[in-house]
Structure formats: structure tokens, C-alpha cells
Structure 1
């Protein structure tokens, strides 16, 4: 039974979900040294933000297949090291969106109305109503840098309070923003210069580190407030302190910091700053959702599938995602079949998508085909994470083309591979049929077929003459090899023909040689998918 290690508190419902299928150990408070000692025995790891999954941890994780992050941020996971080892990293991106958005709106109101200092003052025995005059948010402009899941919820809340919303996000279309009643900014600078409140909703990357520096703060209005519930490090905290101290901006509210945990900062001594200890996801509901989602993602990965929230594996996105995912098994089978039909295969794979499937994101299918092709060429176990890495290391190239038209099938996938043996090209095609979308191979090396791929298969090329099918049946029967299904393709009558046969067990080499010794049989290949 596969084992999963959970190193931080997780919703009990998530733990129980995993225990139905896996052996689960919940070990809290592990030191880095203890994690290094234990990780080698586990296939799955679930963490929150405190556990550091470094390159050294991954190097020790001999059996690890999946890392689940119960939350959004993955700064504490070395994704590059995980990818090289073929380990899927998945998070729970939508688990805390509502909580983070509510925290953003709450901090905005707290700093605008000076609620924390007024609370502390009254609890200290003072009644100073005039000392804590705040500002209203109604009729003000909220500027959002990033309009993803959290930003969109913040926008709805702000609009509900009578605010105008301006956003910069190059990945969101103008039509989408217009439908949300959000004005589109052309740059970060426009947001900074035009807003009364600026809220950050971007990940921490090399490009966003210290995005809000001294120059950015100088662009903001002197009456403006900065809110950050995204990630620490996006704001230059020294520059922010100087700007607040010098009256460059009116105030700030922070839930995240460059170094966490942190209990000492010059910012903590300013009355125009509201701070909280990274509480964006700290609601009962968000924690439960994050735990269950992380558990589901790791479970899916350990079953050999691609979890929907995988960060380092191709996941179909947007419209048609579920439809496209159904083609993954077919494409892997086509890739494996093609390699075993090609002598001295070249290093370029061409994939053609036709019909309905061509209208969607097919990156998962590209990797599926590569995975099937490379599986017999490399010694490392392949998955959707390390296949592109290993293909690139071997100088393997992939070209794709697509057409929305397909004359014979609703959707058709064709894979082509050059042969260094004769300079030619091997070609196979497949589709999905019926209400259950079953895979079918419909063309092999120019022969029209109709057969469902199976683990063990036999491909024959022969002269088109009577008795050939019976001879194959007799040879296989003599060796007690049971035939599951058969498809026959032919050229002009009396010229060339081919057969694809599914069998219950591998066909030994001596059986292939016996077939080839019979006049009329030109080629016999055992296929294992």
C-alpha cells in the first residue's frame, strides 16, 4: 500500500479520504533533519506553508510521486527539483480565495477607519473619538494589481460598497473586465497613480519581487492606502516604512511579509499601519477546503492521473478540458505503437489534431504522445511531469498542427515519426468512439484499421492472398496464445495487406520467427503498450 506523510495540520475529512485507499502518517512539527530522515519511505507528501521541501529533501525522496500544498503559495517547494525527479506538485488554489478576499476587504476598512488603533486606545482606558477620524471607501477608487480569483471577489465586494474598481492584469481580456464592471488599466503605473486604495493580487516571482519599491510608492497619491494580502516580498518593506513615515502615502495594511514568521519590524511601530500574521487563509471553511483539495490532488496523482491543480504537469485548461483529457490514453497508446513500428526512430515527433479536439488546449495530449514514445527509450519511469524534461535532454522535438476539419471522424489524432533507417515516416492515427469515448486505432502505416488498443498486440504485414488469417490463427493456437480481437487492412486486392491482433499475453520472438517462415508473411512485430 502506498504511504502518504502529512507534516502539518489538515482537515480530518481530508485525512479520512486518503485513509480509504492509502496508509497515512500524520507527523506534526518535524524538524528539517527529521523530514530528511523520514521522506524516503513515502509516496505522497502533504504540507502547508511551514514545511520546507528543498532540493535536498527531494533528493532523499526515493519513492515520492506527489506533493500536495494545502493552500495556494508554493514558495516553500523546490518545483524545479521536483520536476526533474518526476514528482507532481499540486496546490489548492481556490480553497482560500473567499477567505483571502474577505481579509483584503477587512484590512482595507480597518486601515481606512483606523479601527485597530481605536480599539487599542479604548481598551487602554481612553475615549478619543476625534483622534481617530477615518475616510470612507464609497466613491473612492480601488486599484487592483492582478485580477485572478481573489482579485475578482475583492472587486465584487468593493463594487457593492459603492467603489470604482480599476485593474491591471494583462491576462484578463477587456471584455471580461467590462462584464465585471471593472475599468482596465494599461499599466501598473496607471493603477498606482489613479487609485485611492491599491491592493496587490500577484504571485511572488522574480518579476514581482519588490514590485512596490520607493519609485512605485512615489507614484501613489499622498492620500492613498496600500493593501497586501498576496505574498511577502512583493513590497519593499524598508521603502514602505520610509514612505509611511514621510507622508508619501496615507497608510498600509499588510497580512504577509518577506520573512515569516516575523515579530519585529519598524512597520509595527507606525500608527498608520495595520498588520496581521498571514491570516488570509485562516478561516475554518478555507482550511477545510484546502485540506480536502490537497488530499484529493495527491490521491489522483498516486493513481497515475494528472490532478487538475498540478503546477508542473500539463493540465487541460478552460473550455473543453474534460473532453481533451479523454484523449490522453489514446495518444499515449499511439506514441507507444509508433515507436515499436519504427526502426531507428528519429528525434522529431509530429502530431496533427483534426476536428473537434483541435479547437482546445492539447498540451496534455502532446506530452501523452511523447510519454508513450519515450517509454521504451529511457530507463527512468515516465510521467506527465518528467516526460518533457527527458525529451528535451535527448534533443527530442515535437511539432503540432491542427485543423477544425475532419472528413471521416468527429476528432482525429495523427502521429508521425521519421525513421533514420530508411528516411521514411511512420504514421498512426486514432480517435474516440461511442458514448463511452472508447479509443480506436483507425490507421497504421497507411492501412485502414478499426481496433481498440490493448496491452499486448501483434502487427503483421503480408501478401493479400487467401488463407493468411487462418494461418496466423493456427500458429497462435499451437502456442496457446488467445486472440482477443483482429482488424484487417489492405491495399489494392491481391497486393498488400496488414493485420492488427490483440492477444492475452506477449507474443514470444520464436512465434514471430515461425510466422515469418511461412510464405506470404513479410513482417511480424509484437507490441506491448
Structure 2
């Protein structure tokens, strides 16, 4: 597979990709040239300069993954990518330290007039009395957003003796207390009391223009505004008016509505510090972003779900790593369920019980659907296009969760309707290495590791059936790897789940069914 890199990427990221893929570094591709060549590539890694438009995606017949070496994905048409089943991932944590340090640097710079004092002194003026700044110790820093960057800024501010007041409805009360900050119930609470207001939210329809004339007039006349998040969160016209009128003391900005920006009237105000979007511009952050983006694309091209996928159901928060370990099991159960059902219906019920049921299982829902639907469709399935394809086929998925399981710490059960009746399979992960186990299939309980080639046999529960099955497989040169037996009441009915080293042909199945006592035999291939 081939990966296109049209912008400068850390050499360590390139080296990581080159272990498994052919990498083309083609810096400075024009939009027209990108349209011309994108059809040759399976993966694409960009920064902020490359625009991945709907037209680009329409030409990208082979493209499976787009990696953004940075946090913002404004330059990627996410909707178009999702419709085409192209996974988009970014590197949201790569620049957190850099952005947080830049925020604190700008706060100190605007509070102490550092840039203008530097410029005038270098111009031959000694204006010591003109630049009387303010100390940050004892002041209140108001944070709107307490994510990765906001949390680092909070730690730095607390270290300088500031009080931190934060608005973020998605952060738990325990986390707020653990960090030693005070919770603001609304953004107005921050604007009303903070001496410094710092923004740490993405630009969305809800946050665009968050800082405007109405919010600026609420701020103290001695307060400062800092934005190292995204342009557009601040209404720059309203900010200019407030600064010029003295409604706030000053502002420090690293991002703007239009970039590059070199001629904003804000730049001509003496109480403003500006930088050209330098929040992520450290050598360390650029290296981390490149490596992370490379890791995300490599994971996607190998068929996995990157931890920073934008348009796929990635588990997050508590238990995310634990849940992700069940993804392969759920896909395996889906594949098994399809192959054990002659006429699959259009309704799947997924049941989670035990520890796994405590967490976000959307990734597992898609994994199960992916395994079940793969044999039904004529296109590759991934974690992006599977839900859309399921919906387009009228496939209904229902999930239920139960906190306890009588026999297993965690259990996943898939139930598929069919004209033959409900078909059920279940499985779990066991041991310190979280090894998969098949627990139920063809109406019987088992305990067997699922393997690529398996055979499921139903039979009367009479002596000699296991030996006859083994002898028949042996006669056809098929080696048994493992076997588990499930049974009902003694002497009634039973079943065998058998792992074998190669695919079982129809001829072998016919030979088994020719033996008195065997009532059903099915061969499956799980990957």
C-alpha cells in the first residue's frame, strides 16, 4: 500500500511508515496536482496547508485513511470522507504542552508589556515608566474549556499562585477537585470575575463568536483575553472595539478568523500581543504530531481503529483501553453468527454483561456488525462505513447492558433473527492476556479459543461420536487443533466445536453427515 505525504513530516514518522508501506513525500503539491495523483494512494498524511476537499475525496478511489498531523481538521471534508468510508484521524495531544506553554507565555507577555517594551528599547527608547504591568500571582485565571491544554495551563497558573476558575460541563466534579480548580457554572461566570480569560475550546457552530460584544462588556476593565485555541471563537470586530474603548485592558492572540492574517486593525493597538499561530510550533510538538499521524494511518491501513479517529466510534474516557480489547472478539462473533445461519434476518441484538457493560461499547457494536455484514456486501467494510451500510440495508441493531454475569467477568452475546429462529453466539476474554473464548454456538455451551478454521457438529449423545468425528477428519488428512463438547441431558443431544489446521471441504462435511448419529455439520472461516 502507498501513503502520500505532501507536507513536511517528522523523519521519525516517515521511518515508521516505511516499515510497512511505500511512502511518497511530495512537498508543495498544488491542488490541481493533488487531484491528479490522489487516486494512486491508500493513505494520506497532511498538516494545515493541504485542503482535502470533496473533489479530492471523489478522486481518491483507493484512499482508506487520512492523518492530520495536528489537532484541527478544518481542512478535511469529514462528511465526504465518511460517506466514502475513509477514516480520518488527527493528533490531538501532540501539541498540548506547546499550546499550553504558549498560552502562559502570552499571558505574561501582555500583562508585562514585554513585546512593546522590547521593540521600543531596540528602537533606542528607554520608556521604563510607560510600561507598568500587573502581576499574575493572586489573580484569577478563567478557563473556558478544561481539556488537555486547559488542564496544563491550569497547573502552570496554580504554580504561579493564581486562582483558576474553569467552565467545562464535560469534566466531572471529582476531576475538578483533583486539579484544585473552581468550577464555573456558565461562561458568564468566567467573564464576570476573571482577571485573565483564556479560551480552550474547538471552533464549532456553538463556540463561533463565543467572545463578542455582550461577553466583552461583562469583563473587568482590568481584564485580559487570551486565545491560542481557534480563530473565529472571538469576534475580532467586537474585540477591536472593546480594546479601543478601554472596556478590557488587553488581549493576546495566536489565531485569527482568516489566516494568514497580516493587516488586522487589532495589530495596531498598543495593548495587544499577537503571534502567527505559533501554539504548536515547537520542535517537540511537530515531531510528536508527525509520529502520531503516521501511527494513526498505519493502524487504519492494517484494519484497526486509531485511538484518535475523528469519524469512527473510538472508545474514550474510563475503560477505553479495556473495551478496545473486545473489538476483535466481537467481529469474530459476527462472522461466526453469519456462517452458522442459513438465512440471516435483518435484526441483531447485542448484549453486554459484566465489566464491559460499564463502559462505552459503540466500537464493539460496529465491530459485531462489521463481522456479520462482511459476507453480505461487495465492498470492503471498515469502522467508518459499516454503520451507514447497515442502515442502507435496513439492518436494525439493538444493544442492551447488564451489570452482572453469573459465570464470566464480561460476556458478549449476539442474537440474530432468522426464519429458522433466533441464532445465538457468545464469547468473552479471559486471563491476564485477555485471550478470546467462544462460549456458546449452535445451541450449546462451549469453552474453546476461536481459530481461523472451525467445524461445528451436532449429534446424538451416544458413545463413540467423538472418535468417529476424529477418525473421519483424519482419513481426509485434517489435523485437529482443539475440541470442546457441549451437551444437553445425557443420552439426548450434543455438539462439538473443533478447531482444525485447514479449511474443511464440502466432501468432508458430507462424509460426516453420512455417519449415523451426526445431524448437522458446518465449517466456518473466521478470518
Q: TM-score, normalised by structure 1?
A: 0.94
| Equivalent residue, structure 2, for 1:282 | 281
Alignment of 1:29-48 (within 5 A): 29-48=28-47
| Equivalent residue, structure 2, for 1:22 | 21
**Matched position secondary structure for 2:375:** coil
Q: Show CA shifts across 1:189-235 (max 9, x none).
A: 11111111111000111211111122222222222211100011111
| Equivalent residue, structure 2, for 1:253 | 252
Deviation at residue 518 of structure 1 after TM alignment: 4.2
| Equivalent residue, structure 1, for 2:88 | 89
| Equivalent residue, structure 2, for 1:460 | 457
**Matched position secondary structure for 1:223:** coil
Q: Which runs of 5+ in 2 are unaligned?
A: none
**In 2, distance between residues paired with 1:458 and 1:179?**
53
Q: More displaced, 164-173 or 343-352?
A: 343-352
Q: Which of 493, 496, 500 lines up with 1:499 in the alignment?
A: 496
Q: Which of 421, 425, 430 lines up with 1:428 in the alignment?
A: 425
Deviation at residue 151 of structure 1 after TM alignment: 0.6
**Matched position secondary structure for 2:255:** coil
**In 2, distance between residues paired with 1:441 and 1:269?**
69
| Equivalent residue, structure 1, for 2:356 | 357
| Equivalent residue, structure 2, for 1:469 | 466
Q: Kindly indicate whether residue 69 of structure 2 is the aligned counterpart of residue 70 of structure 1.
A: yes
| Equivalent residue, structure 2, for 1:488 | 485
Deviation at residue 6 of structure 1 after TM alignment: 1.2
Aligned residue pair count: 526
**In 1, distance between residues paired with 2:407 and 2:177?**
41
| Equivalent residue, structure 1, for 2:159 | 160
Q: More displaced, 508-517 or 355-364?
A: 508-517
Alignment of 1:368-387 (within 5 A): 368-387=367-386
| Equivalent residue, structure 2, for 1:215 | 214
Deviation at residue 360 of structure 1 after TM alignment: 3.0
**In 1, distance between residues paired with 2:479 and 2:495?**
19
**Matched position secondary structure for 1:100:** helix
**In 2, distance between residues paired with 1:5 and 1:210?**
36
Q: Which runs of 5+ in 1 are unaligned?
A: none
**Matched position secondary structure for 1:412:** strand
**In 1, distance between residues paired with 2:151 and 2:321?**
24
Q: Show CA shifts across 1:354-412 (max 9, x none).
A: 22323333222222111111111222211222222222333323222233322222322
| Equivalent residue, structure 2, for 1:226 | 225
**In 2, distance between residues paired with 1:193 and 1:319?**
33
**Matched position secondary structure for 1:376:** helix
**In 1, distance between residues paired with 2:63 and 2:193?**
49
**Matched position secondary structure for 1:126:** coil
**In 2, distance between residues paired with 1:128 and 1:211?**
36
Q: More displaced, 127-136 or 40-49?
A: 127-136
Deviation at residue 479 of structure 1 after TM alignment: 4.2
| Equivalent residue, structure 2, for 1:520 | 517
**In 2, distance between residues paired with 1:323 and 1:98?**
27
Q: More displaced, 509-518 or 19-28?
A: 509-518
Q: Show CA shifts across 1:116-137 (max 9, x none).
A: 2222222222222222222222
Deviation at residue 490 of structure 1 after TM alignment: 1.7
**In 2, distance between residues paired with 1:213 and 1:392?**
41
Deviation at residue 313 of structure 1 after TM alignment: 2.0
**Matched position secondary structure for 1:82:** helix
**In 2, distance between residues paired with 1:327 and 1:412?**
10
Q: Kindly indicate whether residue 421 of structure 2 is the aligned counterpart of residue 398 of structure 1.
A: no
**In 2, distance between residues paired with 1:255 and 1:514?**
74
Q: Show CA shifts across 1:420-444 (max 9, x none).
A: x14x311111122334322111111
